[in-house]
Each structure stands twice: as C-alpha cells, then as structure tokens.
A and B are shown apart, each in its own frame.
Chain A
Amino acid sequence: GENVEQHPSTLSVQEGDSAVIKCTYSDSASNYFPWYKQELGKRPQLIIDIRSNVGEKKDQRIAVTLNKTAKHFSLHITETQPEDSAVYFCAANDRGSTLGRLYFGRGTQLTVWP
C-alpha cells in the first residue's frame, strides 16, 4: 500500500513569515493529494488539494506544489498569522481501491508566534 511521510513534525515561525511542509509518497499511481488543517479538538478540514494533472495550485495565502517524478508534494503558507496555528496533515489516495481510501502523513504542528 501507499506510504506517506511528512516533515517536519513541528514548525515554529514568526507571524508574517512563510511556512513550508513537505510530504513524500511511495505509490506512483496515487493521483490525489489533499491537505487537512486540524485545530485542537476540532475536525480535520480540507484546506487545499491537488490532482496529478497539475503541478501547482494556489488559494490566497496557501499553495501546494506537486512533483510526480520525485513523488513529493509541499504545502506553502505565506504571510502566516496566529490563526494558522494548527496540525496539518497531508494525504495521498489509493488508486488500488475504488473507495477513496486516503493514507495520511503523521502531521505537522505549526505554531505561529505573534
């Protein structure tokens, strides 16, 4: 099955700086890569996703890049704000299953200091 690795496990940045979280995946057949943000005690919420037919996608301060050859994808947050503080999970889908199974990374605790 798919194996997703995520780095770093913790990340601290000053408000206004950029934050980058990186993930690698093992199954070259994976073609859907969502990113979820989970605040303490709350549900994971989709913040951005990318499909394998594009290399980059941007939504305001958030962007995701995908390198299919190297099998890695990254989340970029610019002009960070304290409310960006949360745990971020990357995931990759399982093309061997028709049920939308996702494999999650271990998560990155992002802390944005004011």
Chain B
Amino acid sequence: DAMVIQNPRYQVTQFGKPVTLSCSQTLNHNVMYWYQQKSSQAPKLLFHYYDKDFNNEADTPDNFQSRRPNTSFCFLDIRSPGLGDAAMYLCATGPRLSQETQYFGPGTRLLVL
C-alpha cells in the first residue's frame, strides 16, 4: 500500500556522471516536490510541480533538473554530480491546497565517488 515510491533506494555514481532518480505516487496528488536532505539537516526544497507547471527554488543549482511526464511520475536529473551532491533525496506529494499534508517517499540515498 505504498503511496509514494522512490527508486532506487541507494544510488552510487561517479563524479560528473549523470544520474536520474525516480518517484511515483498512487495518491493522484497534483503537487510533487523534490527535497535534498543532508546529514543532520532539515529537508531543503529543490523544486516542485503543480500538474505540469514547474517551480524552481531560487537557490537550486542549474545542475539539478526535473521532469514530470504524467501525474504519477516525477524524475530528478543531476547532470554532473559533485561530491557536495551526496545526500538523501526525498520526493513528496500533496494536494493543491496549502493547508494539506505532504506525504514523503522513503528517499534515495546518493553517493558520489
């Protein structure tokens, strides 16, 4: 009965080698979010989609891109991973209204060698 699914759970990549993380949801929520979480820190919002409308946070590096081909799926592309991009990447979904809960996926832990 998983509602937000992320694959893979662990990803190892080499410095500069592109990597794609995936997220899918069964909640039919309009909004999908990508967060980066480093050790002992709060989740940091990278960007989010409302349906197909993409919203980038001002401080998200250009190295991070996202795609949402349909309501259920959303992808995070890291074009040239650096050592500083090693982190847990969390996907979350939510309904449109600003008062509603966000549901997080289990995360993908990215290691950059």
Contact = CB atoms under 8 A, between A and B. Distances in A.
B70 interface: no
Interface residues of B, number: 25
Interface in B68-113: 90, 94-107, 109
A28 interface: no
A45 interface: yes
Nearest to A32: B99
A99 interface: yes
B46 interface: no
Contact of A44 (B55, B90, B94): B90
Given A43-B90, A106-B42, A99 B48 contact: yes
Question: For A45, A51, A104, A105, which residue has the most chain B Cβ atoms within 10 angstroms?
Answer: A104
A1 B92 CA distance: 21
Contacts of B40: 87, 107, 109
A100 B107 contact: no
B55 A42 contact: no
Contacts of A34: 101-102
A104 B33 CA distance: 14
B105 A51 contact: no
A94 B90 CA distance: 20
A101 B48 contact: yes
Given A89-B42, A107-B41, A43 B104 contact: yes
Contact of A100 (B42, B96, B105, B109): B96
B18 interface: no
Interface of A: 31-32, 34, 36, 41-46, 49, 51, 87, 89, 93-95, 97-102, 104-107, 109
Would you list the 8 A-B pairs with minimal beta carbon distance, nearest first?
A104-B42, A32-B99, A43-B104, A100-B94, A43-B106, A44-B104, A100-B98, A93-B98
